[in-house]
Structure 1
Amino acid sequence: MVMSPEVERIPVLRDRAAAARHLARICFKTGPPTLTGVELEWTVHDAADPTRPVDAARLRAALGPYAPTTLDPTSPALLLLRGGAMTVEPGGQLEISTPPHTRFAALIEATRSDAAQATRLLSAAGLTLGQAGIDPYRHPQPVIDTPRYRAMRHAFDRHGPHGRTMMYSTAGLQICLDAGQPDQLPARWRLAHTAGPPLLAAFATADRHAGRPTGWTSARMAAWWRIDPARTAPVWTPAQADRDPVAAWTAYVLAAPLLCVREAGPDWAAPPDVTFADWLDGALHRPPRVDDLEYHVSTLFPPVRPRGYLEIRYLDAQPGTDWILPLAMLSALFSDPDTTSAALDVTAPVADAWHRATRYGLRDVTLARAATGLFDLARGALPRLDLPPSLHQEIDHGLRRRRDAAERSQR
């Protein structure tokens, strides 16, 4: 590959220690926790017939100047009115990323506005947003094809059909929280993981796929777990509860197989089973650069991914505006150290119950009990989010409704 002058100026990583130092700088940026972000993702359907495929041309026409360049290389890729950026995933799923905010109410207002604008664009083209974490109607079908997506499909196909299900049929809700001060990081990192099983269970929406029940409460997460554990398994586990977060993430990144290697041509497929550590040790035709390491990190999909902040990835897409509830819940649980500590106590019995949460959801009594405790803690901490009275009441009512459902599951 002939490199441009800009690429040639990017530093080369000579050894594992250099890679570890760079990961420590970019993946856990500590400081006062002030920002909260959210990314909404949906499957997209024909409004009259949700089983009908929606192709790239129809999406391109619907989104117009807001279409991402992966969908239309000539698009100006305009931001939405409140600053949100649109992306389209390989199966045609639409994602909106609104800029993070320091005020929780401002984040809700901006994200609601961007989601409403996207809904209007699609509605004018006879399209509608899905309401679940996996497509209930259609089998997996590709809509966008790029070198990255081709390499992903090639790598995931080695492990079975689940990669295609994930790529083409699933939709998630991602919540982004600051890592916190250095002394807060271990507890926040731990809670981001231990809260995962009960929150996955409480907010699962993905039990039907391609016209039939799946047997999973969250078939979306079931697909993720079965792709490649080296890039989708949790980084934090109870067996290594006291391990330094930076050290744990560094080991995870270096041990993960390469998903793709960016080249000038259309073929980005990586050699099977070559890890980033192998690349550092000379396994490929050139040494990796800093941007290669950062790109490799973008191909890892654990339920919690450090990106300077903590990106929480285990929640299914929610119907309507229900995405506000898990966003508020997590923000409240992380709003002060005492609440975080109490939440860690509540979640300790289910800290590694990922499979049970994915399969059974709140039918698992231990998970339902932990979810109930988290709802109680979150409602008690809700005043810390400094919400306008009407929004506070709306969120509290929604959390109480979900809490009552979790409590009924225990009977």
Structure 2
Amino acid sequence: MTPLTESTAEDHLLGICFKIGPPRLVGVEAEWFVHDSRCPQAPVEPHRVAAALAQLPTAAEPVHPDPAHSGGEQPEPPLLPAGARLTREPGGQVELSSPPAEHPAACAEDLLRDQAELRAALAAQGLRLTGSGTDPLPRERRMQLDHPRYLAMEQFFDRAGPWGRIMMTGTASVQVNVDAGADSGPHTLADRWRLTHLLGPVLVAAFANSPLLDGKPTGYRSTRQLVWSRMDPSRTLAPAAPGAAATDPREDWARYVLDAELLCVRRPNGSPWTAPAGLTFRGWLRGAGERPPSLADLDYHRTTLFPPVRPRGHLELRMIDAQPGDGWLAPLALVTALLDDPAAADLARAALEPLTPADGLRPPRAELWHRAATLALGDPQLRRAALACFGAADQALARRPGSHRLRGALADFADRYPARGRCPADDQLDALRSGADPVSSEAAR
């Protein structure tokens, strides 16, 4: 077997991380905490969740495992009837990942069907879904999965404080996935890469939904964003300064991957996957590891990187807090409308460019992202930009046949939150002040 070198590793990354072509497909991933319906503050034992999930109807066709979730060694996660992949996260969260769809509306309808199945199966066990960027209730956070990947993650992140453990066991998100773009025309890779990063602070602010941790206010509207900003910068910052002068995203990403620290090293026969402290993949290629790395090691290493926008052939927008109920419809509508409609993209860029510092500071530690996490749409500049983006997206959806449900979800969200300078986190804080449950119960149909 030909040894993996820095040159061949870079060539591999340049070839696979951005699939070049006209944008066509979209997907969404929605994550929730699982709470006991009668006693939400009590820990939910894993066997209760497993019993509920075992009753779910599943599709007949198998699905290839996603190494970012399964560790590449676990059984394939089940596929629900409408095609969503079901996975369980380290702290007991559950996630539905839609299959790629050619129309956002089809993507939405399919995930809604599978979400209803999941909600009903949990309700039969006295459990409920809770959509929030952090677990808002004062209950014990603990690791519920013992796969070597997660044990190695624990050890890696514990070197720098509690943030990594909070991320794994106490946070949840909505993720919108879009195609990377073409080399030329109205949907170029460089333009879409830049726009997703420009849009990031507005997505953090508009959908901020994690003001509580351990049942107490943190001073942030998006505590989840705070957690990410405190974690290992070699894997949570953007690959370069996407808001600054345009560079080639592919080259930036290849450098980023090789210069990121190893989180884990896969080993056989039950051996721990703990990585040597401070070792980057580039250092491994240069002979610092216990054995030469393989192409499979490089591909697995990519799944342990968590920047705000992650290229995996397509672009994963990872900065959005989990939303209650079917609240994921609004970010799906907003992102796809702005990314897929050239006129809407131009309007969004015009609203977002003035917010970006000249040096383009790398998110999520940039000052603008901090304001988004702290003030959300209480920040006047972010609110103006959000209103412009929501308006442009509404116009785009009006031009796109079959978008009635998504347009309605976006309009309802805009009226309730951006138009009033609010975000979902404000609902949690209002409920806490009134003595009510800070999160709404998602009842089964």
TM-score under structure 1 length normalisation? 0.91
- Tell me how far apart the structure 1 counterparts of residues 2 and 369 of structure 2 sit (CA, whole Å): 38
Deviations 1:352-382 (A, max 9, x none): 5111111221122211111111111111111
Indicate how the Cα distance of structure 1 residues 267 and 407 shifts in structure 2: closer, same or farther if over 3 A, else same. closer
Q: How many residues align?
A: 397
- Tell me how far apart the structure 2 counterparts of residues 390 and 163 of structure 1 sit (CA, whole Å): 37
Unaligned 5+ runs, structure 2: 59-64, 357-365, 424-445
Q: CA deviation at 1:392?
A: 3.6
Equivalent position amino acid for 1:104 in 2? P
Corresponding position: 1:254 with 2:277: no
- Residue 218 of structure 1 corresponds to which residue in structure 2? 222
- Residue 274 of structure 1 corresponds to which residue in structure 2? 279
Deviations 1:246-304 (A, max 9, x none): 01111111110000000012400000010000011111122111111110000000010
Q: CA deviation at 1:139?
A: 3.9
Which range is displaced more, 359-368 or 86-95?
359-368
Q: CA deviation at 1:400?
A: 3.8
CA contact under 8 A between 2:333 and 2:407: conserved in structure 1? no
- Residue 22 of structure 1 corresponds to which residue in structure 2? 12
- Residue 134 of structure 2 corresponds to which residue in structure 1? 134
- Residue 443 of structure 2 corresponds to which residue in structure 1? none
- Tell me how far apart the structure 2 counterparts of residues 399 and 96 of structure 1 sit (CA, whole Å): 25
Corresponding position: 1:315 with 2:320: yes
Which range is displaced more, 93-102 or 228-237?
228-237
- Tell me how far apart the structure 2 counterparts of residues 258 and 77 of structure 1 sit (CA, whole Å): 26
- Tell me how far apart the structure 2 counterparts of residues 70 and 230 of structure 1 sit (CA, whole Å): 23
Deviations 1:59-112 (A, max 9, x none): 1111116699979x9977431110111110100000111101002211111000
- Residue 346 of structure 2 corresponds to which residue in structure 1? 341
Indicate how the Cα distance of structure 1 residues 214 and 192 shifts in structure 2: closer, same or farther if over 3 A, else same. same
CA contact under 8 A between 1:45 and 1:130: conserved in structure 2? yes
SS in 2 for 1:269: coil
Corresponding position: 1:374 with 2:389: yes
Which range is displaced more, 392-401 or 170-179?
392-401
Q: CA deviation at 1:204?
A: 0.5
CA contact under 8 A between 1:56 and 1:92: conserved in structure 2? yes
Equivalent position amino acid for 2:386 in 1? A
- Tell me how far apart the structure 2 counterparts of residues 146 and 42 of structure 1 sit (CA, whole Å): 21
SS in 2 for 1:99: coil
Query: Percentage identity across aligned positions?
Result: 44
Deviations 1:123-150 (A, max 9, x none): 1011111121110012421111110001
CA contact under 8 A between 1:217 and 1:358: conserved in structure 2? yes
Indicate how the Cα distance of structure 1 residues 211 and 394 shifts in structure 2: closer, same or farther if over 3 A, else same. closer
Indicate how the Cα distance of structure 1 residues 241 and 125 shifts in structure 2: closer, same or farther if over 3 A, else same. farther
- Tell me how far apart the structure 1 counterparts of residues 86 and 412 of structure 2 sit (CA, whole Å): 30
CA contact under 8 A between 1:151 and 1:268: conserved in structure 2? yes
Indicate how the Cα distance of structure 1 residues 294 and 238 shifts in structure 2: closer, same or farther if over 3 A, else same. closer
- Tell me how far apart the structure 2 counterparts of residues 327 and 229 of structure 1 sit (CA, whole Å): 27
- Residue 100 of structure 1 corresponds to which residue in structure 2? 100
Pick from 380, 383, 387 the counterpart of residue 402 of structure 2. 387
Deviations 1:189-224 (A, max 9, x none): 001111000111010000011111011111111111
Equivalent position amino acid for 2:4 in 1? R
SS in 2 for 1:182: coil
TM-score under structure 2 length normalisation? 0.85
Pick from 320, 326, 331 the counterpart of residue 326 of structure 1. 331
Pick from 44, 50, 53 the counterpart of residue 63 of structure 1. 53
- Tell me how far apart the structure 2 counterparts of residues 27 and 398 of structure 1 sit (CA, whole Å): 33
Instruction: Give matches, 1:177-256, under 5 Å.
Output: 177-183=178-184, 184-237=188-241, 240-256=244-260
SS in 2 for 1:311: strand
CA contact under 8 A between 2:77 and 2:87: conserved in structure 1? no
CA-based RMSD: 2.2
CA contact under 8 A between 2:20 and 2:189: conserved in structure 1? yes
Pick from 27, 42, 45 the counterpart of residue 32 of structure 2. 42
Q: CA deviation at 1:342?
A: 2.4
- Tell me how far apart the structure 2 counterparts of residues 135 and 228 of structure 1 sit (CA, whole Å): 22
Indicate how the Cα distance of structure 1 residues 305 and 391 shifts in structure 2: closer, same or farther if over 3 A, else same. closer
- Residue 4 of structure 1 corresponds to which residue in structure 2? none
Q: CA deviation at 1:406?
A: 3.4
CA contact under 8 A between 2:237 and 2:307: conserved in structure 1? yes
SS in 1 for 2:317: strand
- Residue 172 of structure 2 corresponds to which residue in structure 1? 171
SS in 1 for 2:8: helix
CA contact under 8 A between 1:197 and 1:350: conserved in structure 2? no
Structure 1 ranges of 4+ moved more than 6 A: 67-71, 73-76
- Residue 153 of structure 2 corresponds to which residue in structure 1? 152
SS in 2 for 1:334: helix
- Residue 309 of structure 2 corresponds to which residue in structure 1? 304
Unaligned 5+ runs, structure 1: 1-10
- Tell me how far apart the structure 2 counterparts of residues 104 and 336 of structure 1 sit (CA, whole Å): 13
- Tell me how far apart the structure 2 counterparts of residues 217 and 88 of structure 1 sit (CA, whole Å): 26
Corresponding position: 1:361 with 2:402: no
Equivalent position amino acid for 1:106 in 2? A
Deviations 1:141-199 (A, max 9, x none): 11111100010000000110111110001000010000111121111000111100011
Q: CA deviation at 1:234?
A: 1.8
- Residue 6 of structure 1 corresponds to which residue in structure 2? none
